[in-house]
Amino acid sequence: MNIVIINYGAGNIQSIMFAIERLGYKAVLSNNPDEIKSADKVIFPGVGEASYAMNRLKESGLDTLIPTLTQPVLGICLGMQLMCNSSEEGNTKGLRIFDVDVVKFSSKVKVPQMGWNTIYNLKSDLFKGIAEKEYMYLVHSFYATICKETIATTEYEVEYSSALENGNFYGTQFHPEKSGDVGEKILGNFLEL
């Protein structure tokens, strides 16, 4: 299987590579459009600030490529947020794959939300064999609100989308590659889609 991790200078790439290797697969890092288009599975990671990351995508033309992909694509953390309509972080226009906006947690809670929290209302093959209320690892100050594409929910001050799905596009706010055996199972489910 040909797995490509999009490398655009805003990724949590090493831990994803190791998690994929533990599952018995190999992944390549690439920002080459032909390599990305011909992959069986594409992982779109992201850590850091939204407007900076979006500018990096635009520099390489990946902002126009990613929404046209037809194979399963998994956005992780900031990768998922960039797939939404917009983000309040840096007043960033997103890739408009998920029809939802990303907003900031209020000042009433500790930001970023950092650590383990549960996911529930699971509604996708991404969560095959995963029990409700499993703990996932999260680090974020912004969140996607609940919408028709929500396939997992987490509560931190408010209920928000901890995973999204639209056609062949999937996104997780949590880091499956840092979420132990359960996270690895979710990553494995994605690779088997």
Cite the active site residues: 77, 175, 177
Q: Which amino acid is at 119?
A: I
Q: Which residues, including other chains, have CB under 8 Å from residue 14's CB and lie 6 or more apart? A: none
Residue where the block lists tokens 């489910």: 189
Percent helix / strand / coil, the chain, rounded to 5 = 30, 35, 35
Q: Distance (Å, rounded) from C-alpha 190 to C-alpha 101?
A: 24
Q: Distance (Å, rounded) from C-alpha 128 to C-alpha 5?
A: 23
Coil, strand or helix at 179: coil
Q: Distance (Å, rounded) from C-alpha 114 to C-alpha 100?
A: 23
Give the count of beta carbons closer than 10 Å to the beta carbon of residue 87: 25
Q: Are the beta carbons of 78 and 72 closer than 8 angstroms?
A: no
CA neighbor of 38 nearest in space, from 7, 1, 11, 10: 1
Coil, strand or helix at 134: strand
